[in-house]
Structure 1
Amino acid sequence: MSTINLAIVGVGKIVRDQHLPAVAGNADYRLVAAASRNGRVEGIDNFGTIGDMLQAVPSIQAVSLCMPPQYRYAAAVQALEAGKHVFLEKPPGATLSEVEDLAARAAANDVSLFASWHSRYAPAVEAARTFLAGTRIRAMRVAWKEDVRQWHPGQDWIWQPGGLGVFDPGINALSIVSRILSQPVFATEATLEFPENRDAPIAALIRFTDATGLDLLAEFDWRQTGPQNWDIEAETEAGPMRLSEGGAKLTVDGQLLHAEPEQEYPMLYRRFAELIRAGRSDVDLAPLRHVADAFMLGRRKVVEAFHD
């Protein structure tokens, strides 16, 4: 396969900010169509539904699905059953079971499925993984605190069942944690704070451990104002480690070891092209499983109403 004919479904903020520039800068792709209820991409064919798009543009070879997770499964089934490779924006779905079904359908139709955890491609993540592999971790703390009004203004879907609430950004932290640790962790307890007028949490505190008894505490909060925090800190035998700014910078024992410009989405699309050409899929469900476990174990705490 030379150039991959790509279509995008769900033309919103993330598509305009990240997907379109990444695709435009990658010679592996030719963007040929888009489908969205409200958004449009100039210069290509636009449709109201993925079904109409797939029928009208049979040359499409791959589809990026960027709508809210509650609506992604049905669209993914249509694309996979039509023999198209599928890129799933994070989180890959609203439930574990539906994503597992998509993976099985991709295999049955001999196409690639990519669960795209973009934060794993932050510049310093692999350097942190290498550092931690060479030392013993005593404890780890995760603080993912941001202002929902700044990052998700007026997005009601994110507060609905399946929208994940504060786990929409929090799952980014969990995708990094599950990448940089050498063995799996699992939740042992959680407290989830739900605004009295919302169906998804605005904050969460989750404690994790592993087979060695690791002390790992993650705190997610959508009520942060002022500076935003996306930090992972670890106490290790080789000194304190800090992975900051969402994985952009790595500091060990006070020394900055790694910092590069962010290239998450360009790297995601390079990975997707590699998977397509190799005839493989990449569907790691660990971050979504951690969220599901937190909901299963979590103590529900009702807090004051939230209004945009």
Structure 2
Amino acid sequence: MISLGLVGLGKIARDQHLPAIARSADFTLCAVASRNARADGVPAYPDLDALLAREQAVEAVVLCQPPQVRHAAARAAMAAGRHVFLEKPPGATLSEVEDLVEAAGRAGVTLFASWHSRFAAGVEPARSWLAGRRIEGITIEWKEDVRQWHPGQDWIWQPGGLGVFDPGINALSILTRLLPGTIRLEDAELQFPANRQAPIAARLQMRVANGTPVEAEFDWRQTGRQSWNITIHTDAGALLLADGGNSLFVEGAAQALPGESEYPAMYDHFAALIAERRSDVDASPLRLVADAFLIGRRSFTEAFHD
């Protein structure tokens, strides 16, 4: 069993990480670090530095803090010889991610930049079905209610918090897993609330290396049923990945899939990376988001209040 420290006990840590760790055959939770929260049955520390100083047996840490502070924490953990599992996105900037890759190499530890939606049940079956078929066009609809998924979380509206790209990057992580080659952003429109530093909606136009067009629409104002859909038109019919990649339809027919297990699968992968003494860091989803902020036309809408 690999002894684990968990840093940041917000919604994603409680909803996903703690249950996945409890189910894992490879990891045991030994300590947590959080300014205001505790986990049952393990020592709690106010920050990562205190955890690292007191818990010498911890071999790996999982970083679930906001992305704006994750770089410094990852650097400190790797300098102390610990393997690191990063929640998505892997950093607030691309240069941060590149720096962490170099630091992991120098320290001889594993760095895992996780993209949980890539581990959705339908993603690999969809990737297999698409192999050898001609893709003619892709549309992405990723719309959800920010009040439901990020209640009271101000960091997502600050610079580096990504705004609507916090969920939208999940779609981009699936897209970059499904398709070979570079995906290039051609155009973007970003809509900002008048009182916020990050967008609440976005439209992207992209193109795959072979010329296939991709259109994406992200919106954080959806109420009722949430929409996490990727539709891919091919010469053999249409494929739909729905429910964030956990449902798969080919020409309207539902495909049999295993149950949803994104986070347990990520912990399995992290354990394998440690055993194999290697890292897994793919910044391509974050690069598309960075490009959107670089070239996107900006407009403003009514103020957002949680």
Count of residue pairs the alignment pairs up: 306
**Partner-residue secondary structure (3-state), 1:93:** coil
Assess if the C-alpha contact under 8 Å between 2:184 and 2:209 holds in 1.
no
**Which of 8, 12, 15 matches 1:14?**
12
Q: What's the TM-score once normalised by structure 2's chain length?
A: 0.99
Check the 8 A contact 1:120/1:176 in 2, yes or no.
yes
The one of 55, 58, 61 equivalent to 1:57 is 55
Give the structure 2 partner of residue 247 of structure 1.
245
Match of 1:111 among 109, 121, 124: 109
Could you say what the CA RMSD is over the residues aligned between the two structures, in angstroms? 0.8
Quick check: 1:157–1:163 contact (8 Å CA) kept in 2? Answer: yes
Write the letter of the residue equivalent to 1:35.
A
Query: What is the distance in 2 between the residues matched to 1:61 and 1:250?
Result: 37
Kept in 2, the 8 Å contact 1:133–1:182? The answer is no
Corresponding residue for residue 222 of structure 2: 224
Q: Secondary structure of the equivalent of 1:86?
A: strand
Residue of structure 1 equivalent to 2:304: 306
1:193–1:202 Cα contact (<8 Å) kept: yes
Residue of structure 2 in register with 1:82 after alignment: 80
Counterpart in the other structure of 1:5: 3
The residue identity in structure 1 corresponding to 2:116 is H
Q: CA deviation at 1:212?
A: 2.1
Q: For residue 183 of structure 1, report the CA deviation from its aligned partner.
A: 2.3
TM-score, with structure 1 as normaliser: 0.98
Once the two structures are TM-superposed, the CA of residue 116 in structure 1 deviates from its matched residue by 0.6
Task: Determine helix, strand or coil for the equivalent of 1:58.
Answer: coil
Distance in 1 between the 2:294 and 2:282 partners?
20
1:263 aligns with 2:261: yes
Provide structure 2 residue ranges, at least 5 long, that are not aligned to the other structure. Answer: none
Structure 1 stretches of 4+ with a deviation exceeding 6 A read: none
1: CA distance, partners of 2:250 / 2:33: 45
Q: In structure 1, what is the Cα distance between the partners aligned to 2:25 and 2:130?
A: 35
SS in structure 1 at match of 2:105: helix
Query: How far 1:261 moved relative to its partner?
Result: 1.4
1:189 to 156, 179, 187: 187
Partner of 1:279: 277
Displacement of 1:255 = 1.3
**Shift of residue 164, structure 1, vs aligned partner:** 0.2
- Alignment match, 1:73: 71
* 2:42 aligned residue (44, 55, 60): 44
1:128 is matched with 126
**Shift in Å, 1:210:** 2.1
2:183 and 2:206 in contact (8 A); partners too: yes
User: Structure 1 CA distance, aligned partners of 2:208 and 2:170?
Assistant: 20
Number of the residue aligned with 1:137: 135
